[in-house]
Amino acid sequence: MQTLEIAQRPSPNCGPRRAGLKPQLIVIHYTAMDNAEVAIQRLCDPVAEVSAHYLIANNGAITGLVPEDQRAWHAGAGSWQGQDDVNSRSIGIELDNRGTHPFSEPQMSALEGLLAQVIQRWSIPATGVIGHSDMAPGRKMDPGPHFDWARLARLGLAADVCRQRVPLSLDPDSFMRTAQAAGYPVDLPFETLLAATRLRFAPWRRGPLVPADYNLQA
């Protein structure tokens, strides 16, 4: 297995995972800040009350902030596969990016190496690698439309598009059922959920519901 060089900047913003839970998910974020150092300072600031397990800088440097067996404060309100308290169920990875441009090659390469190791350590399936926007549709946009999910899927580090059997009639209710089966929370407007799934699987798509919108992970 690839040896990763990980600098340590311990954050006080963490605690025990609740109810004996272990990581079942990996949640990918972008920092939306000026640079990695500014983001690390915020993630280590007790006043901010936010953190993540890792941050990967634009140049590929990885910083460990919270031990994997601890609960970092990165996900906030939301759910996945009907389960809340995502913080207790996940590993959070922040990427140094404002969300307005593609992610660098060194950063993506470092992310791939880190994901492979975390997935192996905790036996997390590819379907358990999600974006912040997946578990909190409408509230969060990260890692955003410039993130290369297809690249991770080709390596088995994220779920690929799953070709679904499209209902005879396209309607919000049938789409909501498909999205719920894929793991998305559905206690929100149809338009919000459609936008969130497109952000992950087809960020270029606009307009009304089409058959391809049913092609979600499952």
Active site residues: 94
* Residue 52 CA: distances (Å) to CA of 26, 67, 188, 206: 11, 9, 26, 32
Residue written as token pair 């049938």? 174
Q: Is 34 helix (H, G, I), strand (E, B) or coil?
A: coil
How far is 98 from 113, CA to CA, in rounded Å?
22
Identify each DSSP E strand in the chain by its residue range.
Answer: 6-8, 14-16, 25-30, 54-56, 62-64, 70-72, 90-95, 129-131
In 60-171, where does DSSP find H-type helix?
A: 105-122, 132-135, 149-154
